Chains A and B, each alone.
Chain A
Amino acid sequence: MSAVATSPSYSQPDSDNFLVNSRGFLSWALTLDHKRIGLMYLVGVMSAFGLAGILALVLRAELMTPTKMFLSNQQYNQVFTLHGAIMVFLFIIPSVPAALGNFLVPIMLGAKDVAFPRLNLCSFYLWVVGAIFFLTAMLATGLDTGWTFYTPYSTTTQGPVVAATLGVFVLGFSSIFTGLNFIVTINTMRPPGMSWFKMPLFLWATYATSIIQVLATPVLGITVLLLAAERVLHIGIFDPAYNGDPVTYQHFFWFYSHPAVYIMILPGMGIISELMSVHSHKSIFGYRFIAYSSIAIALFGFLVWGHHMFTAGMANVTTIIFSALTFSVSIPSAIKVFNWLATMYQGTVKLNTVMLYALSFIFLFTIGGLTGLWLGALSTDRMLHDTYFVVAHFHYVMVGGTLVGFLGGIFHWWPKMTGKMFNETWGKISCLIVFVGFNLTFLPQFVMGSRGMPRRYARYVEDFQELHQMSSVGAFVLGIGLFIALGVLLHSLFRGRKAPPNPWGGATLEWQCASPPPYYNFKTPPRVNEPYDYTPLHFRGDDKGWEYVHPTESDAPRVDEVESKPATN
């Protein structure tokens, strides 16, 4: 037995590469390969992100002045609705789980595919159908309800509310199918030897996310159907004109949409757990605490929806209980941050592009988390609710957290997905510009909020103009940074150097197959090892990357020997 047996990457022909093993449009459109589906999702969600990002810049440009520049009030409302709805439903919810998760979950398990490959493809097409439905509905006649569809505005306004909610309904099924698939995959397809506590933390995060997707998304489906029924049939549940109650709608809506916040952030946290460990070349600190905290967040996340409604007219006791529960969810997040930091201690920290994104995540997510304290506390929330303070808070979590984590993850797994190395210098520059631009955009918004600037305003009081202008300038800097990041990745496809199977020295299983992986991932099930034990890894130079040599095979063969030998099985 040599290392060859456990490093199938060295033994497969290039023609098995999943990107090129079959060709033609149909080979992609009808593929059951989780990696291809993951890549198609990646292209899809990034297109949605690009569209919604441009809309954000339109909004920020309009807000340079307190009076009208180029958008009427009505157009402004439609643009912020589109921005929010596309970002939430088409980009951020499917971003990490569907794009990176699809690619990584089976490979990290040493498996060939997810448990239900056809369901997986179906979920992608549901996403496409939902997206088309949603976009045409919104672009055609202008939806202006905000992404939250609050009643009774949404039941009385003109505009394609029913079509848009049906789009959300379809997208919900896509999300449920993905979650279901991952739960079954992780439960049943872990290879022999991979106990729950030998799983990579990304899988723990994905598992926790999937639980939320499966349990919470049906409530969203019910909510939007009821909303459509109220609008069309006046069934009298949400609209006071027919004896309904708008606050009931808010309970329904946030019962999904708050857990959905954790659908958005938990996978990002999972990515950061991987990134911090691999690029610090250090076993993760407090594995079990991080794993349990993912599950804790998923469970607590179901109990805190009421904090979106502190000023909505709930009973006082209910409000106080929701405040207490809200604080409980802050603890597991704090634990994660401390554990990530401690992971660097005594490690070998490589300050490359990926690590800079991971450190940016910790910086920005910490601000996002801490500013939640003001909003969870009832008296300060009364002042800050529905102001720009809230806008800044959730952008720090969703953009500074999830998006930056997602970008870090894309850079980290890019060599694995495409087989190409990207330009480190420009990667670092993109991270720096994103970081500066992001903070310039959203830090001033906290101050605006505490001074009383309400959100969703097309026009505003002149006193806020300086802060709005800082924010707008920051938004364009952020846009440039993201554009550079995109450029770095696209450039690598054409000019990038060929990636070795394990360029960073990761110990999880995806690094033990070729870059890009063959369509069957592993010829033989790889031998399961500790996911964060870096002692068996040996660096063989930039071209060869890192090699995993099992501890029992201490007489590790040199790389040239490995290459010259044929596969033993």
Chain B
Amino acid sequence: MLASNFPALLADKNTTFFFPPRASTFAEETDAFFLYILWISLFFFALIVIAMVYFAIKFRARPGYQGDSRPLHNNALEITWTVIPTLIVIWIFARGVYGYIDMVTPPTDTIDINVTARKWDWSFQYPNGAIADTLHVPVDKNIRLLMRSEDVLHSFYVPAFRAKQDVVPGRVTTYWVRPILRGEYDLFCAEYCGDQHSEMIKRKGVVVHDQAGYEAWLAKAAQPPRNPVAHGYWLYSRLGCKSCHAVEPGKRVVGPSLAGTFGETLKTADGESVVFDENYVRESVLEPQRKAREGYQNASQMPSFQGKLKNEELDAIIAFLKALKDNPALIDAVKDGDLTEDEAKALGYWTEESDAGESDGGAAPAEDGAAAPDEPSDAASATESTPPDGSENGPTETATAN
């Protein structure tokens, strides 16, 4: 079974046996260097193993053979096998520095994107103020990421770009890249960050557009939907709420589910009763630890959103939670982290404004939701987001790389 699957991996487009697609300017140098080291290593490894096997056979103990146990020494040999490896590692060191300098020296003409990492999601803030949970960049432009963490260490890692950089709380770390291949690529967190570390896999979390496609995407992404429920969902899916709070009633990811509790009376960890109303939602978003629910006091690792949300946004979140109550249609539509065009239409929150063109922003984030790796690219191109973004086909075609 294993052997038969192996060649299939080799056959993937754009990828090679060792490498994912080469989507940035770093890839060519890094891959070539990787292979040089591979050949050097294979040479020495072969030398060592062949000598080992040859000696083990030629000088093996056997009847009629008596080796010589007296010491041998040969300073010339010792110096040879000290000096040659030394020269080789000096070359490897120098070449590594050469590639490294390029990776840590951003050019001056960059598009700067602010990145916030938190347990367990990414948030990207674009020059026009748009915020999304995926990284969208134009091809052949220099991109600089200014990265901060709200809680613990994370590491921004896009294998197709061949580079990673830790995101350190209390510091701003930078990362630059020049994408050269349109497509959608996986984004990983590479530094252990707790319970849901591996849920920071963002399939197709990095989208490299052509310039027009990037601009079109950017314009849309800056416009949240107007309907409060749609707006609430829009915020839910891009502020990181969804990595800990499910929308299915009763389902526990890390924190409690958001569905089905609005208006109920709940117990807090301190044993008090509290009504899950507008005030409670507001307070829980701004000061999450203040009235933790019973059973969740130990799990509460939620950051405060004090100062990060406007009043209308809080209202939108409240509207979304209210709408989730006893609303299986909405829950069904959004629980897989993916809101399709048909679902959005059926619910009505989005479609009422679709002719205005602005609600696209509402559907768009749903379509690029992290948990939608299996969304066929055809379906994506059929959504209303396609017409203004002519490039959308480009990325989806090359996306087979992943």
Residues of A in contact with B (beta carbons under 8 Å apart)? 73-74, 76-77, 144, 146, 150, 152-153, 156-158, 240-241, 244-247, 280-287, 289, 311-313, 316, 319-320, 323-324, 327, 330-331, 334-335, 337-339, 341-342, 344-351, 355, 359, 362-363, 366-367, 370-371, 373-374, 376-383, 385-387, 447, 450-452, 454-461, 463, 466-467, 469-470, 473, 532-535
The answer to whether A313 touches B171 (Cβ under 8 A) is yes
Q: Which of B61-69, B272-280, B334-342, B389-397 lies at the interface?
A: B61-69
| CB-based contact B51/A341 at 8 Å | yes
CA distance A232 to B203 in the complex (A): 38
Whether A281 contacts B69 by the Cβ 8 Å rule is yes
B residues near A, CB below 8 A?
Answer: 1-2, 5-6, 8-9, 12, 15, 17-20, 26, 29-30, 33-34, 37, 40-41, 44-45, 48-49, 51-52, 55-56, 59-61, 65-73, 77-78, 81-82, 85-86, 89-90, 92-93, 95-104, 151-153, 155, 157, 159-160, 162-166, 168-171, 173, 186, 188-199, 201, 203, 298-299, 301, 402
User: Residue B18 contacts which of A311, A381, A447, A532 (CB distance < 8 angstroms)?
Assistant: A447
List the 5 closest pairs (A to B, CB-CB), nearest first: A452-B159, A379-B99, A240-B170, A377-B96, A378-B100
Q: Is the CB of B162 within 8 A of A383?
A: yes
Closest residue of chain B to A338 (Cβ to Cβ) is B81
Which residues does chain B contribute within 8 Å of A285, judged by CB atoms? Answer: 71-73
Q: Which of B20, B73, B97 contacts A452 (CB 8 A)?
A: B20
**Nearest Cβ in chain A — how far from B189, in angstroms?**
7
Which residues of A are found within 8 Å of B12, using beta-carbon distances? 463
- By the criterion CB–CB under 8 Å, are B56 and A373 in contact? no
Query: What is the bound-complex CA distance between A532 and B72, given in angstroms?
Result: 11
User: Which of A74, A76, A311, A383 has the most B CB atoms < 10 Å from its CB?
Assistant: A383
Pick 22 A–B contacts, CB within 8 A, sort by A.
A77-B195, A156-B151, A156-B301, A283-B71, A285-B73, A323-B96, A327-B90, A330-B85, A335-B82, A341-B48, A345-B59, A348-B67, A349-B61, A366-B45, A366-B49, A374-B37, A376-B93, A379-B30, A379-B99, A379-B102, A385-B190, A455-B190
- A451: nearest residue on chain B (CB-CB)? B20
Closest CB-CB distance, A275 to chain B, in whole Å?
Answer: 13
Q: Complex: how many Å from CA A457 to CA B171?
A: 25
Q: Name the B residues within 8 Å of A367 (CB-CB).
A: 45
CB closest chain-B residue, reference A382: B163
Of the candidates A152, A289, A330, A450, the one whose C-beta lies within 8 Å of that of B19 is: A450
A341-B51, A377-B37 are contacts. A346–B67 as well, Cβ < 8 Å? yes
Instruction: Report the Cα distance A469→B29, complex, angstroms.
Output: 31
Chain B residues positioned under 8 Å from A156 (CB to CB): 151-152, 301
**Do residues A146 and B69 form an inter-chain contact, with CB atoms below 8 A?**
no
Shortest beta-carbon distance, B25 to chain A, in Å? 12
Q: Give Cα A374–Cα B40 distance, bound, in whole angstroms.
A: 11
Main secondary structure of the interface of A (DSSP, over half): helix
Q: How far is the CA of A222 from the CA of B89 in the complex (A)?
A: 34
Q: Are A282 and B93 in contact (CB under 8 A)?
A: no
CA distance A327 to B81 in the complex (A): 15
The residue in chain A whose Cβ has the minimal distance to the Cβ of B80 is A338
Flag if B48 contacts A344 (CB, 8 Å): no
**Bound CA–CA A473/B5 (angstroms):** 15
Given contacts A158-B298, A335-B78, A347-B69, contact A452 B41 (CB under 8 A): no
A282 adjacent to B67 (CB under 8 Å): yes
Complex Cα gap A74–B119 (Å)? 14
Whether the Cβ atoms of B153 and A347 lie closer than 8 Å is: no
Across the interface, do A379 and B96 meet the contact criterion of CB distance under 8 Å?
A: yes
Shortest A541–chain B CB gap in Å is 15
Add 14 more A-B contacts to A338-B81, A373-B89 (CB < 8 A): A73-B199, A245-B171, A246-B169, A282-B69, A316-B101, A323-B93, A378-B96, A378-B99, A385-B164, A386-B155, A386-B157, A386-B190, A386-B191, A452-B188
Per the bound structure, the CA–CA distance linking A348 and B70 in Å amounts to: 11
Q: Which residues of B contact A463 (CB under 8 A)?
A: 9, 12, 402
C-alpha spacing A383/B37, complex, angstroms: 14
A381 cross-chain contacts in B, Cβ below 8 A: 96
Residues of chain A contacted by B52 (CB below 8 angstroms): 341, 344, 359, 362-363
Say which residue of B56, B101, B173 sits within 8 Å of A349 (CB atoms): B56
